[in-house]
């Protein structure tokens, strides 16, 4: 099964939304494989946001991500990258659809509550960036046929 990275950002941490956000992914049927709280620093953020390094708002993003610790988590499921990304909603919380995490809890472009991997390839590199191999657990939470049809997993 596919795996993805989800970061609960400082805006959500400061608003006590950790449990609510995790609950949404659990209720969807995704399986938590690893989770930890960590304080991000310049080095990891330079790597994580390297694709934005030439943008004028790059330092603002880094500052925002270092306001508090974040909760990084790894989830698995069939098409989990796409599912989690859709559940998060569009980057701009003001235009994110109600029912998405950003649509329900964010009114900002930058302070947008959550990060989710956007491709399978990015998910793999992001999980490696934030987790050691011994911090990701692969186990069967329950019979996959409870969540998926026989030909889906």
Q: Does pLDDT of 144 surpass 90?
A: no
Of 81, 80, 130, 88, nearest to 112 by C-alpha is 88
pLDDT at site 15: 97
Q: Does pLDDT of 40 surpass 80?
A: yes
Residue 115 a catalytic site member: yes
Catalytic residue among 51, 85, 86, 115: 115
Of 48, 75, 76, 74, nearest to 62 by C-alpha is 48
pTM of the model: 0.94
Instruction: Quickly state the pLDDT bin for 62 (edges 50, 70, 90).
Output: very high
| Residue 48 to residues 70, 120, 136, Cα–Cα distance (Å) | 14, 15, 19
**Domain residue ranges in the chain:** 2-39+70-139
Write down the architecture of domain 2-39+70-139 according to CATH: 2-Layer Sandwich (3.30)
pLDDT in tens, 64-77: 999 999 999 999 99
Query: What is the arithmetic mean of pLDDT over 79-96?
Result: 97
Q: Does pLDDT of 143 surpass 80?
A: no
Query: What is the arithmetic mean of pLDDT over 118-133?
Result: 98
């Amino acid at each position: 099964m596919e795996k993805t990275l989800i970061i609960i950002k400082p805006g959500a941490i400061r608003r006590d939304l950790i449990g609510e956000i995790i609950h949404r992914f659990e209720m969807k049927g995704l399986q938590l494989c690893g989770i930890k709280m960590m304080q991000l620093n310049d080095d990891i953020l330079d790597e994580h946001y390297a694709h934005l390094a030439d943008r004028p708002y790059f330092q603002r993003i880094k500052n925002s991500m270092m306001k508090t610790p974040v909760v990084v988590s790894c989830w698995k499921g069939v098409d989990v990258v796409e599912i989690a990304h859709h559940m998060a909603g569009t980057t701009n919380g003001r235009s994110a659809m109600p029912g998405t995490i950003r649509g329900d809890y964010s009114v900002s472009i930058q302070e947008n509550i959550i990060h989710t991997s956007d491709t399978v390839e990015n998910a793999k590199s992001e999980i490696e960036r934030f987790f050691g191999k011994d911090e990701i657990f692969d186990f069967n939470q329950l019979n996959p046929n409870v969540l998926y049809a026989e030909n889906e997993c």
